[in-house]
């Protein structure tokens, strides 16, 4: 395989005081695959996602984004890498309340340097793909929970990142809505060839992803 992994976690260790959360964790994510991260509360899912997303630095080990080692990067280079190559989705949508759905998706593109017209056009394209074109001008408070989360997914993918990191993205939704949001997420992963690491407690959703991993004694372990 000559393709470069979207994400390669090499021997990551992270402890908080006495608590050793990760101890030599390894993980490779290939473009276009969706991997479920399933582990009990407190196992280190968010820690792993924060390290992968360059929001925290490991005590030891290296995080490679699209083949690039990140440990030695200066802050502005890390920020640029995060902005262009990594998208985040959280349990709560974190959309900006005073902006419309379309504006929420356009903003990260404009921050990354795109003009307003281009950014708005891509935002509308993503909304149409999600079946939300009629919601483009609505503010987050005027959207349902599922719609808010689908807009948050579109925002995370707006800059065509290599890597999508989602921390219990359907954890706040009822099962039917979670199913719909997950279907959207899966379709976008396949269409965009982004690599997705998705922390979830939902075993039905995990079963529909390409692979499943958990965290055991500080290591990332694959399971079926």
Where does this chain bind ligand ADP (CB under 6 A)? 16, 19, 21, 39, 41-47
39 touches, from Mg ion, ligand ADP, none (C-beta below 5 to 8 Å by class)? ligand ADP
Pairwise CA distance, residues 159 & 149, whole Å = 17
Distance of closest approach, residue 200 Cβ to ligand ADP, in angstroms: 11
Distance of closest approach, residue 62 Cβ to Mg ion, in angstroms: 23
In this complex, which beta carbon is closest to ligand ADP, that of residue 90 or of residue 182? 90
Positions in the binding site for Mg ion (CB under 5 A)? 45-46
Distance of closest approach, residue 151 Cβ to ligand ADP, in angstroms: 24
In this complex, which beta carbon is closest to Mg ion, that of residue 39 or of residue 54? 39
181 touches, from Mg ion, ligand ADP, none (C-beta below 5 to 8 Å by class)? none
In this complex, which beta carbon is closest to ligand ADP, that of residue 2 or of residue 41? 41
Instruction: Give bridge partners of residue 214 from the DSSP assignment.
Output: 221
Closest residue to Mg ion, judged by C-beta, is 46
In this complex, which beta carbon is closest to ligand ADP, that of residue 9 or of residue 132? 9
Distance of closest approach, residue 46 Cβ to Mg ion, in angstroms: 3
In this complex, which beta carbon is closest to ligand ADP, that of residue 39 or of residue 181? 39
194 touches, from Mg ion, ligand ADP, none (C-beta below 5 to 8 Å by class)? none
Residues 6+ apart with CB under 8 A from 18: none
36 contacts 203 by C-beta, under 8 angstroms: no
Q: Hey, what long-range contacts does 186-189 have (CB within 8 A, 24 or more apart)?
A: 186/34, 188/129, 188/153, 188/154, 188/157, 189/32, 189/33, 189/34, 189/164
Distance of closest approach, residue 64 Cβ to Mg ion, in angstroms: 23
In this complex, which beta carbon is closest to ligand ADP, that of residue 24 or of residue 32? 24
- Based on the number of CB atoms within 10 Å of its own CB, is 168 exposed (0-12), middle (13-18) or buried (19 or more)? buried
Pairwise CA distance, residues 220 & 204, whole Å = 20
List of E strands, the chain: 7-16, 19-29, 34-37, 60-65, 68-69, 86-89, 163-167, 195-199, 211-216, 219-223
């Amino acid at each position: 395989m000559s393709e470069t992994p979207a994400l390669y976690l090499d021997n990551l260790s992270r402890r908080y005081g006495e608590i050793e959360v990760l101890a030599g964790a390894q993980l490779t994510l290939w473009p276009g695959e969706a991997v479920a991260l399933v582990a009990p509360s407190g196992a280190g899912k968010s820690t792993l996602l924060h390290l992968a997303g360059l929001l925290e630095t490991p005590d030891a080990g290296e995080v490679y984004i699209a083949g690039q080692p990140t440990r030695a990067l200066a802050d502005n280079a890390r920020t640029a890498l995060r902005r262009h190559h990594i998208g985040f989705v959280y349990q709560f949508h974190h959309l900006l309340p005073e902006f419309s759905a379309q504006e929420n998706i356009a903003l990260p593109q404009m921050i990354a340097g795109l003009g307003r017209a281009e950014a708005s056009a891509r935002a509308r394209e993503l909304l149409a793909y999600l079946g939300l074109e009629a919601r483009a001008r609505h503010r987050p408070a005027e959207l349902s929970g599922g719609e808010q989360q689908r807009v948050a997914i579109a925002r995370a993918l707006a800059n065509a990142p290599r890597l999508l990191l989602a921390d219990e993205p359907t954890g706040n939704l009822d099962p039917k809505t979670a199913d719909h949001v997950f279907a959207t997420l899966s379709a976008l992963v396949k269409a965009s060839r982004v690599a997705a690491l998705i922390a979830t407690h939902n075993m039905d959703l995990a079963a529909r992803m390409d692979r499943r991993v958990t965290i055991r004694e500080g290591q990332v372990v694959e399971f079926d």
